[in-house]
Amino acid sequence: MATAKAVTKNRERLLAFAIVVSLLAGWVVGWSRHHSDVAGFLQQGLPDAVRFESEQDDIYAGLTDAQSESETVGYVAIRSAPGYAGPVTVAVGLDPNGTVVNAVLVRQTESPAFFRKVADKGFPGRFKGKACSDPFEIGDDVDSVTGATVTLTALTEAIRLACSDIATGRLGLPPVVRPRPPIQFGLPEILLILLIATGFAAHAKKLPGGPTIRWVVLIASLVFVGFVWRRPVSLANINSLLIGYWPGWQNGVYWCVLLAALLVPAILTGKTPYCSHICPFGAAQEILVKVGGSKRQLPPKYGRLFKILQRALAWIAVMCALIFRNPTAISYEAPATLFTFIGANWQFVLLALILIASLFIARPWCNALCPIRAVTDYLRLLRRNFGR
Amino acid sequence: MSFFEGGLFWFTEGVLACLAIIALRTWTQDKGIRMPFWKWPVVCTWVLFLGVSIAYVGTSLGEGERHAAFLGAVCAAVIASVSGVVVWRLLRL
Amino acid sequence: MPERQLRVNRRTLIKAAGATSAVLGLSGLGLSGYRAGKAPDSYTGCEGSQGAAQDFDRKRFAVDTPPYEKVGPTSRADGRTEVIFSRVGVARSAAEKGAKIEDLDEPFKSYYAQHPEDFEFDKQNRELRRKVREDSEENRNRYILAEAWAGAMGAVSPRSIGNDPPEVSDFPRQGSREPFKMKSPAATAKLIKKVSYEFGTVLVGITKLNPDWVYQYPSSRRGFATDEPIEVPKHWKYAIVVGTPMSWDPMYANPTYGTSNDAYSKSRIVAFRLASFIKRLGYAARPHTPGNSYDLMVPPIMVDAGLGEQGRHSVVITPELGCNFRPAVVTTNLPMATDKPIAFGVQEFCKTCKICAEQCPSGAICKGDKEVVRGYRRYRLHSSKCFNFWNSTHGSMGCRVCIAVCPYTRKSNWVHKTALQVTANDPTGLSHKMLTGMQKRFYPGPEPSDYYAATLGGKNASYREPPWWLKTEDFIAL
């Protein structure tokens, strides 16, 4: 008996280890893919350079000829800043005086309509000739584009980052002090923190009338986190974190609080009060099962099968995100479809099937498909095996 | 004017509705389900919703709005299932 | 004893109910028979001329003041500069000569000095058209049938009204006829509406002409001196607005497959017939018709005449046809009872919907609030941007995407008629937001930038697929 346990333990450790290795490999593949195709952009960024030498921090030195002691005509830096739908990445070439030689777009995943507005006004080429010490302030030295503020902000910020990194890191110019962008902290953030605090307290059985409070929090979360703000935790957030895209300051506080509410308890205690007490899609499923009047769980036979499916799908989604460096490379998240009501046809069918199944089975999404559950399960596996 | 726009069509619909209601009555009696007056409008509303949903999908297809027809069908399926379970549980009261 | 009484009561009740339903059923048969005899459908081949399409209950939504806001002193539009077609040629030739705004003649110099961005836009459109023509042969050939159809629809048109001043050309030929004395303005209005339907209009409305809507300076040569202000003729007392829809299926396949010509041509014919009819009664009448043969702005007159409300895209939204309506106006001194303007929720709806502004490929439709234009509060339309897009796409010229995407522009079936009634009768505006959301998700369009020609970075997209009979590739061997 004891040996069987030991075998399971060993197998678990092996699995946990294999997953870590695969994720690391995925990250490295994605990173190198990302960095192998920059040569063309480097040349556009600094047309006078004959060859480029890769230096630290994603900065490339542009050299006049193939000789080892040839002259440096400038530097190109590749930088990103978070836009509306993922990072906006640019390559910026600076001459030794700190003037922008050229700025070219490397990659962006904004909605075409938004990006077109910015491109129509001649961005990012319009940054040509700017000094790296300029304020890079929209409405001041950068013309604004109505209806595409977030995209233009991202583009400007990426170019500013490139300029200031080259200026301070290579040209020895003093850093330009900029006022910090205001932190988004309003009613949604306060309400969210309140919801999470109440939910956690109910989960820890610190409140009288726990079950009632759990329902109140769940319904409030369904209304606000779900339908009003439309921003529950999704695998895309975790993918962004793994890839290394930090959320933009616009939504920073909200995301940090929400992700912390999910991940911190899972890591520290192995429990997931977010899932049982706060998740708006969990709330929707629980309401539906109350409507259906059923107490059934997934039958254990299928339950095991679904667990494997759930974790395998989540692993595939994370791997693709890492390899393609796109947090939403594969997205099958029904909550997003429900709350935003935007999605491909198959996503609507999936959502409908889950909602109808919720009438008869307790939380089918959580138990059979939710990738967040797979992630927390994995964290628990790590904790169990490597915890102490 | 085709059959589906004419009075005869609606007359037929009416006859079919009457037959359905009579059948529902007999079925509930056989099942031993009590049918106080308030259950009738509940059932009728649900059936009406179903009818309107099907008609919406048909009209959208007819208009050439396939996406609207598809989304309409999916939404109607969810709403009809959820409310169907509610109606069923009310009937069993 | 009480049981027996109950039974009698029940039997009586059943009998009474049976008798009532019999009476109801029989009278229903009579009524439906009457309807069947009178129905527009029974006028085989002339269903449209019975006025049946104008079926919205306007009386219930009638208001005393039109649903636009007058703020402070008003002025009239300058037809020479504020009408894009009148000014665009000046900018084009300036572009060819490399001339600057300072080199232009008045009134264009001061207009473009005030709107320098319009000058930049207006200079571009010939170049844009050239780029569209550079598109691949395969792409261009796709629109052969659409262009042939549009051309044919514009091929038949009444004669122009000539270049005589209104004091001459509006009146019956000298001495030919004294005006007949009409029995009552109400009867005359009824008559004019009936004959308008018979002439082929779909909607008709009558209003007193507000002189604010007449151009300050003329936009085309119709008997007014080019550079003298128009003095509104005394006999332009009333305005009759008529109009017809564009064919629905091509209209949804805009900007490429649709055309304005079909409705333009029909509305022009109606207006000329109506003017001729009025002149034969001895009164003055002048048609103001599409393409660009007006002495006045039509949309506000449509609002005054109770045909609809002006939307965010500046097009008037009618309850029956949405904005799929190409109007013409007849100004006259024939005394008629006038219609009241209507307010059926459009102002509220347009505040939040913004679908036209989001889908507009040129960004000509504003997403913000109303502004004061010539003393009236309205949504500003950037006509230079709009016209540039006309030149940035294939097909028969024009765009019409805002007309196609407007949630009010829907065919007449129970789904859309119900939605219209809900929005018109909902004072809370809650249904407006819900229906807008449904509209966006259930009836999505392409990305606005995809509407551009392929050589201008677009995908030659249209809002909906063209109808089968405009698909060139299915008929012509290329």
Among A304, A322, A319, residue whose Cα is nearest residue A368 = A304
Domain total for chain A? Answer: 2
Query: What is the model's pLDDT at position C11?
Result: 73
Instruction: Note whether A133 and A162 are same-domain residues.
Output: yes
Interface contact flag, B1 C441, Cβ < 8 Å? no
Q: Among the three residues A169, A196, A229, which one is the final residue of a domain in this structure? A: A169
Type of residue at C379: Y
Asked if residue A109 is part of any domain, the answer here is yes
Min Cα distance C182 → chain A (Å) is 57
- What is the per-residue pLDDT across C388-407, written as a single tens digit (0 to 9) for each? 999 999 998 899 999 999 99
Min Cα distance C450 → chain A (Å) is 9
**Residues of C in Cβ contact (< 8 Å) with A147:** 363, 367
pLDDT exceeds cutoff 70 at A182: no
Asked if residue A11 is part of any domain, the answer here is no
Interface contact flag, C441 A342, Cβ < 8 Å? yes
* Residue with tokens 């039109």, as numbered in its chain: C66
Residue C1 pLDDT level (bands cut at 50, 70, 90): very low
Query: What is the model's pLDDT at position A181?
Result: 64
Instruction: Note whether A122 and A203 are same-domain residues.
Output: no
Interface contact flag, C367 A111, Cβ < 8 Å? no
Instruction: Note whether A82 and A154 are same-domain residues.
Output: yes
| Exposure letters C446-464 (e unless 16+ CB within 10 A, then b) | bbbbbbbbbbbebebbbbb
Interface contact flag, A113 C441, Cβ < 8 Å? no
Q: Which chains touch C (3 or more CB pairs under 8 A)?
A: A, B
Q: Among the three residues A169, A195, A218, which one is the final residue of a domain in this structure? A: A169
Asked if residue A209 is part of any domain, the answer here is yes
Query: What is the model's pLDDT at position C46?
Result: 81
Identify the closest residue of chain A to C360 by CA–CA distance: A113
Residue B29 to residues A92, B34, B36: CA-CA distances in angstroms?
Answer: 80, 7, 12
Question: Which of B70, B81, B89 minimises the CB distance to A356?
Answer: B81
Interface contact flag, A117 C457, Cβ < 8 Å? no
**Directed axis angle between helix A371-386 and helix A235-243, to 10°?**
50
pLDDT exceeds cutoff 90 at A117: no
**Residues of B in Cβ contact (< 8 Å) with A351:** 74, 78
- What is the per-residue pLDDT across A309-368, written as a single tens digit (0 to 9) for each? 999 999 999 999 999 887 778 889 899 889 988 888 899 999 999 999 999 999 999 999
Interface contact flag, C449 A113, Cβ < 8 Å? yes
Sign of the torsion angle spanned by Cα atoms C240, C246, C251, C254: negative
| CA geometry: angle C68, C69, C75, nearest 5 deg | 100
Question: Which of C363, C367, C449 minimises the CB distance to A112?
Answer: C449
- What is the per-residue pLDDT across C451-478, written as a single tens digit (0 to 9) for each? 999 988 889 999 999 999 999 999 999 8
Among B85, B89, B91, B93, most A C-beta atoms within 10 A, so best to mutate, is: B85
Instruction: Note whether A131 and A83 are same-domain residues.
Output: yes
Min Cα distance A346 → chain C (Å) is 15
Instruction: Note whether A131 and A196 are same-domain residues.
Output: no
Give backbone dihedrals phi and psi of A46, rounded to 5 degrees, phi first.
-140, 80
**Residues of A in Cβ contact (< 8 Å) with C461:** none
pLDDT exceeds cutoff 90 at A134: no
Query: What is the model's pLDDT at position A141?
Result: 80
Put simply, whether B1 touches C (Cβ < 8 Å) is yes
- What is the per-residue pLDDT across C244-265, written as a single tens digit (0 to 9) for each? 999 999 999 999 999 999 999 9
Q: In this structure, how many other beta carbons lie within 10 angstroms of the beta carbon of residue C475? A: 11
Q: In this structure, how many other beta carbons lie within 10 angstroms of the beta carbon of residue C31? A: 10
Instruction: Note whether A321 and A193 are same-domain residues.
Output: yes
Interface contact flag, B59 C464, Cβ < 8 Å? no
Interface contact flag, C442 B67, Cβ < 8 Å? yes
Q: A103 or C43: which carries more pLDDT confidence? A: A103
Question: Which of A288, A291, A348 minimises the CB distance to B74?
Answer: A348
Within 8 A by CB and 6+ apart from B25, the residues are B35
Helices H, strands E: what count in chain C? 17, 9
- What is the per-residue pLDDT across A223-255, written as a single tens digit (0 to 9) for each? 999 998 888 888 888 888 888 776 554 557 888
Q: Retrieve residue B85's tokens.
A: 């379970």
Question: Which of B78, B86, B89 minimises the CB distance to A352?
Answer: B78
pLDDT exceeds cutoff 90 at C418: yes
Rounded to whole angstroms, the Cα distance separating A227 from A291 reads 20
Picking from A91-105, C273-287, C333-347, which range would have the lowest pLDDT averaged per residue? Answer: A91-105
Q: In this structure, how many other beta carbons lie within 10 angstroms of the beta carbon of residue C165? A: 12
- What is the per-residue pLDDT across C354-371, written as a single tens digit (0 to 9) for each? 999 999 999 899 988 999
3-state secondary structure of A20: helix
**Residues of B in Cβ contact (< 8 Å) with C411:** 63
**Residues of C in Cβ contact (< 8 Å) with B59:** 413-415
Average pLDDT estimate for A95-115: 80
Min Cα distance C116 → chain A (Å) is 16
Query: What is the model's pLDDT at position C319?
Result: 96
3-state secondary structure of C255: coil
Query: What is the model's pLDDT at position C384?
Result: 94
Rounded to whole angstroms, the Cα distance separating A198 from A278 reads 9
Asked if residue A182 is part of any domain, the answer here is no
Residues in chain B: 93
pLDDT exceeds cutoff 70 at A179: no
DSSP string, A243-291: HT-PPPTTTHHHHHHHHHHHHHHHHHTS--HIIIII-HHHHHHHHHHHH
Interface contact flag, A111 C447, Cβ < 8 Å? yes
pLDDT exceeds cutoff 50 at C381: yes
Q: C124 or C285: which carries more pLDDT confidence? A: C285
Min Cα distance B36 → chain C (Å) is 18
Instruction: Note whether A47 and A136 are same-domain residues.
Output: yes
Q: A208 or A336: which carries more pLDDT confidence? A: A336
pLDDT exceeds cutoff 50 at C43: yes
- Domain of A234, in residue numbers: 187-386
Min Cα distance B69 → chain C (Å) is 8
* Residue with tokens 């708006």, as numbered in its chain: A280
Q: Retrieve residue C330's tokens.
A: 């007849």
